[in-house]
Structure 1
Amino acid sequence: MQDELYRATIAVLGEVGWDGLTLERVAEKAGRSRVTLWRNGVSRESLLDALLRRLTEGYRDAMLPVLTSPGSVRERMERTMHALCDVIDAHADVLSLSDEMFHRAAEANCEMPIGFLDPFLRVLADARAAGQLTSKAKDLDLADVLFNGVAWPYLHFRVRHEWPPARARRLLFATLLDGVLKK
């Protein structure tokens, strides 16, 4: 997707939401003709797919190196959380529109080799095997809490409070990790 169509799609979503997104509105926002977009194979569905694919690919690219990184459980979990925050920073414009973006991307199944929770699940399994978890909750539930406990507060602190990344990450990670892992 061209950057101008990407920005126009985000702008229209911000104004009218998913249900109000039309090719005509995106074309108008991008200063292009709806017919021209349509003739070039652009549709409402292709715009949404491209938006979600960009998010999915950004997540994949950030997380694949983390999945194979060495280190202690705590170091690996911190790297996983940092990678998620990197994705949040890179896609804050899209993620600020709706807390459904990751769900929609998962439903669209944008050829993702890993699930959104997989990096967290991998580290949690190692932490459980090493006796380092403080919680008896299921790993899937903990992964969901960690993913969402990082993603949405971090986005809020960065976008709404305009905290610098280091401050938001330092305070958020310490709070979450100390609640899940033994020191």
Structure 2
Amino acid sequence: MKEDLHEATVAVLADVGWDGLTLERVADKAGRSRVTLWRNGVTRESLLDGLLKRLAADYRDAMLPVLTAGGDPAERLRKTMNALCDVVDAHADVLTLSDEMFHRAAATADLPMRFLDPFVAVLRDARAAGRLLGKGTDLDRADILFNAVAWTYLHLRARHAWTPAKARTHLLPMLIEGTVR
């Protein structure tokens, strides 16, 4: 998706939400005509597809460094959570549309990893080091951590207007301290 269409789509979503997203509104925001977009094969669904592919690509780019990093499990978990928060901040307008957006992005994009892989890797290493707290499979615990970070952070940012620093300062230590020692 071209940058101007991406920005226009995000702006329209911020203004009127998914139900109000129309080709005409996006065209107006982008300074183009609806007919031109339509002739180029742009649809409401292709706009969402473009947003989802960008979400997946940004997630990949944020997570690959932490996925391949070594070191202390608690510090790696903190970095993984912060990277997820960065992605949530960058895509808040899309993520507030539905709690299915990460699932839809995973289905749309061709990623070299699954969305939970960075969390599974940290948990696996914490378990091997004898530092993992609690019970459950690494995959189930990764799913819980991913969702606890992504959706709680988004809610605190979007609905309570917390700053990134405040949301991360209060949320992440609680989750880390309950996961690794």
TM-score by length of 2: 0.88
> Helix, strand or coil for the counterpart of 2:85?
helix
**Are 1:130 and 2:129 matched, yes or no?**
yes
Gaps in structure 2 of 5+ consecutive residues: none
- Counterparts of 2:13 and 2:176 in 1: how far apart (Å)? 38
- Please list, as runs of the form range in 1=range in 2, the aligned pairs for 1:33-112 lying within 5 A after superposition: 33-108=33-108, 110-112=109-111
Answer whether contact 1:58 1:87 (CA < 8 A) is retained.
Answer: yes
Alpha-carbon shift at residue 162 of structure 1 (Å): 2.1
CA deviations on 1:45-103 (whole Å, 9 max, x unpaired) are: 32122110110111011001111222111111111001101111111121122221101
Q: Cα 1:12–1:73, aligned 2, differ >3 Å: closer, same or farther? A: closer
Give the partner amino acid of 1:124: L
Assess if the C-alpha contact under 8 Å between 1:12 and 1:25 holds in 2: no
How far apart are residue 13 of structure 1 and its match? 8.1
The TM-score, its normalising length taken from structure 1, stands at 0.87
Distance 1:12 1:39 in 2: 22
AA of the residue aligned to 1:17: W
Partner of 1:161: 160
Structure 1 range deviating more: 60-69 or 38-47: 38-47
SS at match of 2:54: helix
Tell me how far 1:177 sits from its aligned partner.
1.2
Match of 2:172 in 1: 173
**8 Å CA contact 1:78, 1:173 repeated in 2:** yes
Check whether the contact 1:52–1:101 (CA below 8 A) recurs between aligned residues: yes
For structure 1, the 5+ residue unaligned runs are none
Identity of aligned residues (%): 63
Name the aligned partner's letter for residue 105 of structure 1: A
Instruction: Between 29-38 and 127-136, report the one with greater CA deviation.
Output: 29-38
Which residue does the alignment assign to 2:120? 121
Per mean C-alpha deviation after superposition, the further-off stretch among 37-46 and 112-121 is 37-46
Q: Structure 1 pair 156/13, CA: closer, same or farther in 2 (3 Å)?
A: closer
CA distance in structure 2 between the aligned counterparts of 1:64 and 1:77, rounded to whole angstroms: 13
* AA in 1 matched with 2:40: N
Structure 1 residue 21: Cα displacement: 4.8
CA RMSD of aligned residues (A): 2.1
Which stretch of the first structure deviates more once superposed, 57-66 or 30-39? 30-39
Greater displacement, 90-99 / 149-158: 90-99
Report the count of equivalent residues. Answer: 180
Please state whether the residue corresponding to 1:135 is helix, strand or coil.
coil
User: For residues 118 and 45 of structure 1, what CA distance do their matches in structure 2 show?
Assistant: 28
Give me the whole-angstrom Cα distance separating, in 2, the residues matched to 1:37 and 1:122.
43
Q: Is the Cα–Cα contact under 8 Å of residues 14 and 93 in structure 2 kept in the other structure?
A: no
Letter in 1 for 2:133: T
